[in-house]
Amino acid sequence: MSHLRSMILISPELLLVLTALSLLLLDFLVRRKGTLAVAGAAGIFISAYVNYRLIKVGMTGGTIQGMFAFDGYANFFKLIFYTTLLLTILLSVKYLAIEKISAGEYYSLLIFSTVGMMIMAAATDLLMLYLGLELMALSTYILAGIVRGDRRSNEAALKYFFLGAFSSAFLLYGITLVYGLTGSTNLREIASALHSLKLAESPITMLSLIFFITAFGFKIALAPFHMWAPDVYEGAPTPVTAFMSAGPKAAGFAVMGRVLFDVFGGLQMQWSIILEPLAILTIAVGSIIALSQTNIKRMLAYSSIAHAGYALIGIVIGTPEGFVSTMNYLMIYMIMNMGAFGVVIMLKREGFSGENLEDYAGLAKRHPVASALMLVFMFSLTGIPPTAGFIGKFYIFMEAVYAGHIYLVIIAALFSAVSAFFYLRVVMYMYMKEPAGDISLSTSKTAGIALAFAVIMVLVIGVFPSLLLNFARNSFFG
């Protein structure tokens, strides 16, 4: 009986795996590659619907062997992953045709990566956490290098692979130390053993905490561990970049939150002290280096580093409410970032990368709708009301002020003002420069749907912020 229950609890993931496998087979049977995207999206919708039904029938709170939890926390992050995956697939259709990427493998790797993220968010055992992370990472390494003829894509895949493997080693070292101390890999058992054996003060616990932060820091590209991000984001195919900057980052935050709060909850003071300078450094490095970028993918890479810093503030505070604001921020960042990358993807056409800032000169004259969308996303990334980006930053800063981290908020707000320069520079190019030549967009219906969804969500969350925030709060506490 418990086996059946386990199967039901993990059925959303199983359905996704099934979808990925059938896409691999369908690739041989179907000539029109657009069909694959539709089939994939259908599978994802079914999986998401099953997940929704499971929540509705009250399966929340169930676990499989204490390793895999079906709880509100995981479900909130799963919503981020599902949305990222769907938007990425919608934005990829045209890009795959232009770059001649084999669609079946591409979509199934995207789905496998998402399954890995879902396992990470749901993992309550370090073993599961590690395996989910590897499943996610391995798929993204391949996706980064899927344009085999492109040297930059090769470089991105190799760099990502080596540094990812390096960070996995840190994670494993941390897990080993904790296992050696407590004799368990289960998060709850570790926490109780640390408490009952008074190991929380042990230097080895501190050491493993540092290893965990290092490993997760690599995944979410925190400042001293961010070196891979710009090159990888620039070299990878743009839809993959969009996917990487939203999904795996949120997954990294998901495991970081769970490990820090559930296992090292008693060491909150210590990890706040470690993370606080990292947050400031991350925001500073991301915002300052982005100023000098002329390649828009690189600029968005540094922007994504800076945003990881803002989201980290919610963890630095160390309160549950603080982490709720981080979850809120991650959802908002995902939507606006996917939107911004969506416009970048549309500028790509055969033999033209459309990645340079100059390519945006005078875009508003030729394509007013695309420019208006980019305008909204850039405003949102800067954090200007009434967009969602403002709400995300506002709640994080508010929680930080409540917790007494006022100077942290001042620094973050200052860098947020600095970031306005490079975001609004794109807007300036679009609206105030004369077009250099003829600009044609690779528009498609699917990309249109994705962008429309993103822009609507950015504005809706911006105007009705409590919808998302209450959802995040209920997921975390409920």
Binding site for other proteins (CB under 8 A): 6, 10, 17, 24, 64-65, 67-68, 100, 102, 105, 108-109, 112, 115, 119, 125, 127-128, 131-132, 134-135, 138-139, 141-142, 145-146, 148-149, 157, 179-184, 193, 197-199, 202-204, 207
For other proteins, the closer of residues 131 and 420 by Cβ is 131
Q: In angstroms, what CA-CA distances link 127 with 74, 187, 216, 381, 420?
A: 17, 10, 15, 36, 42
Nearest of 123, 112, 17, 144 to residue 70 by alpha carbon: 123
Measured from the CB of residue 203, what is the shortest distance to other proteins in angstroms? Answer: 4
Q: Which residues 6+ apart lie within 8 Å of 205 measured at CB?
A: 177, 178, 181, 194, 199, 264, 267
Nearer to other proteins, 214 or 416 (CB): 214
In whole angstroms, the minimum distance from the beta carbon of 12 to other proteins comes to 14
Residue count of the chain, please give it.
478
Of the two residues 139 and 416, which places its CB atom closer to other proteins in the complex?
139
**Please, which residue, 63 or 442, has the CB nearer to other proteins?**
63
Least Cβ distance, residue 240 to other proteins (angstroms):
13
Give the burial class of 25: count Cβ atoms within 10 A of its Cβ; 0-12 exposed, 13-18 middle, 19 or more buried. Answer: exposed
CB of 367 to other proteins, least distance (A): 32
**How many beta carbons lie within 10 A of that of residue 270, not counting itself?**
16
* Token pair belonging to 171: 């994670």
Residue 122 phi/psi, 5-degree rounding, is -95, -10
Residues facing 68 on adjacent strands:
64, 123
**Residue 181 or 288 with smaller CB distance to other proteins:** 181
Say which amino acid occupies 283: I
Token digits of residue 10: 């993990």
Which residue is it, tokens 């996995």? 168
Least CB distance to other proteins at residue 181 (A):
5
258, 276, 296: which is closest to 122 by C-alpha? 258
Which is nearer to other proteins, 199 or 288 (by Cβ)? 199
Cβ-based nearer residue to other proteins, 131 or 172: 131
CB of residue 477 to other proteins, shortest distance in Å: 27
Cβ-based nearer residue to other proteins, 18 or 372: 18
How near is the Cβ of 166 to other proteins at its closest, in Å? 12
Q: How many CB atoms lie within 10 A of CB 203?
A: 7
> How far is residue 343's CA from residue 95's CA, in Å, rounded to a whole number?
12
As a whole number of angstroms, the distance between CA 107 and CA 114 comes to 11
Smallest distance, Å, CB 201 to other proteins?
Answer: 9
Cis (ω within 30 of 0) for the bond into 386? yes
CB of 218 to other proteins, least distance (A): 15
Dist CA 172 CA 138 (whole Å): 16
Q: For residues 65 and 294, which CB has a smaller minimum distance to other proteins in the complex?
A: 65
Cα–Cα distance between 206 and 267 in angstroms, integer?
A: 9
* Least Å from the CB of residue 39 to other proteins: 17
C-beta of 64: minimal distance to other proteins in Å?
6
- Provide the token pair at 300: 């968005």
Q: Is the dihedral of CA 446, 452, 458, 461 positive or negative?
A: negative
Residue placing its CB nearer to other proteins in the complex, 13 or 359: 13
CA 208 to chain centre: 25
Output 150 or 321, the one with its CB closest to other proteins. 150
CA angle 220, 287, 235 (to 5 degrees): 55
